[in-house]
Structure 1
Amino acid sequence: MNLNYLNLDLYGIPEDAEIQLPVYLIAADLKSRKLMNALTTIGCDACFCVADFCDVVFSFIGFDDRPNELYDFYFQLLERECDNVTYKNDAPIREAYKIYMELVSKRKSN
């Protein structure tokens, strides 16, 4: 798969689609979470339509079992890194890569 068309600054992430695709999806989750958090702070929290890529991310990383604790862990990571995402940051690749690495570490420890 040629990822050159995404036009991303990948900050030294290995040129491997099995790494870059989940990182890109995590970045999309981060952007979506940031937007929803901003809308909530101004009172627009009655309707949420948020893209959720966690199941695809988990598949890429190799999680066969997906207990509720894994989802809680992922959403906690998103919330933590969401504070580091700026609106100028088109794709929060650094933050997404941190989350990716923590998920890989969790999979290896299980």
Structure 2
Amino acid sequence: MTGVLLVLTGVVLSLAHILAPVHNDGIVYRTGCGSAWQLSGIPVKEAGIVRINTAGEDELETLPGIGKVYALQLIEERNKNGPFYYPEDLTAVHGIGNGTVKKLYQYINLTVE
């Protein structure tokens, strides 16, 4: 019985380690999250077509689900708080949620110059 308990304890501890938050050296998502989860964090992306940190209103409007209002809000957010480093940062704009970020992911480029 003791052996089974030790094995189960080891499994629980290893799962806790896998799912524990990882601090990311002071980077805070705009949504207020100061740490990323090891298994769910989305890496910085550079392969998309639209450079979200430099694009103008017309270029932002080419993105799926982004019209004039969201384009202007993205530009305002970028000007006010600096560049977007992670796709999740786009959710700082009211009305852009995780579903929209998933749709935009393949089209955006988060390169910061």
Q: Is TM (by shorter chain) over 0.5?
A: no
Higher RCO by CA contacts (8 Å cutoff, separation 6 or greater): 1
Q: Which has the higher strand share?
A: 2
Query: Rg bigger for which structure?
Result: 2
TM-score between both structures, scaled by the size of structure 2? 0.32
